[in-house]
Structure 1
Amino acid sequence: MDVRQLRYFATVVDTGSLSKAAVRLSISQPSLSQQIVGMEDDLGVPLLLRSSSGVRPTEPGMALYRHARTILKQFEQMRGDVLRGEHSESGQVAVGLPTSIAAVIAVPLFNRLQIAYPNIQLQLFESMSGYLIELLANGRLDMAVLFRETETRGLTVSPLFNEHLSLCGVPWVGDADSSSVPLSLVSGVPLVLPGKANGLRLLIERTFAREGLELNVVADIDSLPTMLTIAREGQVGSILSGALARQPGAAILGRRLVEPSLQRMVSLCVPNAVPQNAASRAVQNTIQAIVREEALQWDTVMQV
């Protein structure tokens, strides 16, 4: 098995289709299929589940995919270091940002890298945290900003700041002119929140249960723009990052939850299986600098 075959296999998994992967790789579909079959024969296990709707990896195939992504990233980094020099701030760096964090960090990050490191090609992935964790595990990202505070196997976790959560919308709850609202007043208020597997949802559920409050979730919505739109209409609220309500043009009421406050640690997470090059370190330093300078956006900032 060689790097070329690993690239073929990873592309098939990424596209979910042998025909689409063949087009992307500029080879014929029969040749690609033959390469995959050869890998399955070599390893002695099926790597793909084939159906009329496409292909998806088996459990052994998913394990191979994760290793393949790590190897391919190391290979590309090796080529870049040799061609550009190990200490050159150039090349592609992939960063994952949750949507609430991207609203504050993404544009400043792009602008600063354009000025300070014009040879760095930034790739930004904006999504829910769960998908970003999957991309990190699969070797698709060089780093991601995630809501966690503890070390995780395979990741170096560097705390950035504590994010205070706010009640968004529902101006009829408490004092709409106040910058905060007691959590007790949110008991029974209709809310839209992310699905039950989401970390934010779990934090909210645990806090409401601990305080003996009624959590009235009227819809599970794994889309930040949709939750904001619903909360903006005023009749149903949501509990989200306070920074979202403070963005220019947000047009939504956001009040920090207090008594007790709801907050979560935001950290910069970097896979430790692949050595970081100069470009990756430059992006990490830039993210940390933006966080320090935008402290007021989150109220409480950790030392970075």
Structure 2
Amino acid sequence: MDIRRLNAFVKIVDIGSITRASAILHIAQPALSQQIAALETHFGKPLLLRSKRGVVPTEAGKVLYRHCQLILKQLDQTELEIASASEEISGIVVVGLAPLGLGSLLAAQLIKTIREAHPGIVLYINENVGGGALSELVMTGKMDVALLFDPGSIPSLSFKRICTEELHFVTAEADQLDGVTEISLAEAIAKPLLLPSKIHTIRQVIDTTLARAGLTAHAIAQTESISVLSNAIGEGLGATILPQSAARAVQRRVPEARSVRIHKPNMKVNMSICVSAQLPLSEAAIVVQEHLVRLASEMSA
């Protein structure tokens, strides 16, 4: 099997066009079409559906695309490890941190730790996708390790529980919380709120608890961005509900912000380290995973 054909197939699927892939790969379009035809002959099935709007993979093509991602990634990692044999641990490690989770506190510390202990490792940290998408990226081998809100048992993934956090009410209007150490859910939702979107684990916990209590909250805006939340809270536009670690991350950016535990009822979320249960981790990824577990455990203690 020619690796160049697999790489060309992946590029065509990613772009959705043989013509544009031809220009990017600097391969004549007829030659590129011949490579795909050779793959289809090898596997005995059509791999692409062609139309005026471009190309999309067939069901067989989707299977090949998924495996190509793993094959090409492992090949890149193999070349890196061979090049650095008998030298320091090196390689690119993709780390996912669920938005509004413990990762908001430890990302910089993880970068600092890896840089000092293993300068040959390059981290790519992704905090722009939700927990479900993070676990899917780990499952398909596009991400090495993730710190996410625990989705429960998934056969192809392995989870290590790090902590359980209670949700807190966060506001910059400190006079609202004078002498207060906790607030009821009914009191919290009486304020203008900025909340995560409905697909986020935190929002699902909030909405489920509200439904059980017969309450309704009004979100004036939705976001999973700590920076957006911090700026809005700092401007006095509203309050929010977050795990304690994310609340601390907001307070770092907005010194006047305060957070108090929500009770009657209280709400909790679990965070876990997630890796593939089927795909082996590179030496560099194992090192990063160990540091991520240690830092997350220390910061949640």
Q: Say whether 1:256 aligns with 2:289.
A: no
Task: Identify which of 232, 236, 239 aligns with 1:237.
Answer: 239
1-side partners of 2:242 and 2:17: how far apart? Answer: 37
> Mean alpha-carbon deviation: is it higher for 274-283 or for 38-47?
38-47
Q: Say whether 1:112 aligns with 2:113.
A: yes
The residue correspondences of 1:200-219 to structure 2 (distance < 5 A) are 200-219=202-221
Q: CA deviation at 1:110?
A: 1.1
* Equivalent residue, structure 2, for 1:286: 291
Residue 107 of structure 2 aligns with an amino acid whose one-letter code is: A
1-side partners of 2:105 and 2:176: how far apart? Answer: 27
SS in 1 for 2:109: helix
Any gaps of 5 or more consecutive residues in structure 1? 296-300
* Equivalent residue, structure 1, for 2:12: 12
* Equivalent residue, structure 2, for 1:273: 278
2-side partners of 1:280 and 1:115: how far apart? Answer: 16
Q: Is the 8 A contact 2:172 2:258 kept in 1?
A: no
Query: Taking structure 1 as reference, are residues 175 and 15 closer, same or farther at Cα in structure 2, changes over 3 Å only?
Result: same
Query: Taking structure 1 as reference, are residues 144 and 28 closer, same or farther at Cα in structure 2, changes over 3 Å only?
Result: farther
SS in 2 for 1:127: coil
Using the size of structure 2 for normalisation, the TM-score is 0.82
Q: Is the 8 A contact 2:104 2:246 kept in 1?
A: yes
Q: Say whether 1:74 aligns with 2:99.
A: no
Aligned residues: 295
* Equivalent residue, structure 2, for 1:44: 45
* Equivalent residue, structure 2, for 1:139: 141
1-side partners of 2:21 and 2:178: how far apart? Answer: 53
Query: Taking structure 1 as reference, are residues 291 and 184 closer, same or farther at Cα in structure 2, changes over 3 Å only?
Result: same
SS in 2 for 1:195: coil
Residue 212 of structure 2 aligns with an amino acid whose one-letter code is: R
Residue 65 of structure 1 aligns with an amino acid whose one-letter code is: Y
* Equivalent residue, structure 1, for 2:165: 163
* Equivalent residue, structure 1, for 2:156: 154
Q: Say whether 1:194 aligns with 2:196.
A: yes
Using the size of structure 1 for normalisation, the TM-score is 0.81
Q: CA deviation at 1:115?
A: 1.1
Query: Taking structure 1 as reference, are residues 175 and 198 closer, same or farther at Cα in structure 2, changes over 3 Å only?
Result: same
Alpha-carbon deviations, 1:8-40, whole Å to 9, x = none? 222333445545544554434443344334434
1-side partners of 2:244 and 2:23: how far apart? Answer: 44
Residue 112 of structure 1 aligns with an amino acid whose one-letter code is: T
> Mean alpha-carbon deviation: is it higher for 230-239 or for 116-125?
230-239
Any gaps of 5 or more consecutive residues in structure 2? none
1-side partners of 2:171 and 2:49: how far apart? Answer: 46
SS in 2 for 1:286: helix
* Equivalent residue, structure 1, for 2:123: 122
1-side partners of 2:13 and 2:51: how far apart? Answer: 11
SS in 1 for 2:273: strand
Larger radius of gyration between Structure 1 and Structure 2: 2
Residue 36 of structure 2 aligns with an amino acid whose one-letter code is: I
Query: Taking structure 1 as reference, are residues 51 and 238 closer, same or farther at Cα in structure 2, changes over 3 Å only?
Result: farther
* Equivalent residue, structure 1, for 2:92: 92
Alpha-carbon deviations, 1:251-295, whole Å to 9, x = none? 462423321332211111111222123211110111122123323
Q: Is the 8 A contact 1:145 1:269 kept in 2?
A: yes
1-side partners of 2:6 and 2:86: how far apart? Answer: 25
Residue 6 of structure 1 aligns with an amino acid whose one-letter code is: L
Q: Is the 8 A contact 1:231 1:237 kept in 2?
A: yes
Q: Is the 8 A contact 2:162 2:293 kept in 1?
A: yes
Q: CA deviation at 1:46?
A: 4.3
Q: Is the 8 A contact 1:232 1:253 kept in 2?
A: yes
The residue correspondences of 1:26-65 to structure 2 (distance < 5 A) are 26-40=26-40, 42-47=43-48, 52=53, 55-65=55-65
Q: Is the 8 A contact 2:46 2:58 kept in 1?
A: no
Q: CA deviation at 1:117?
A: 0.8
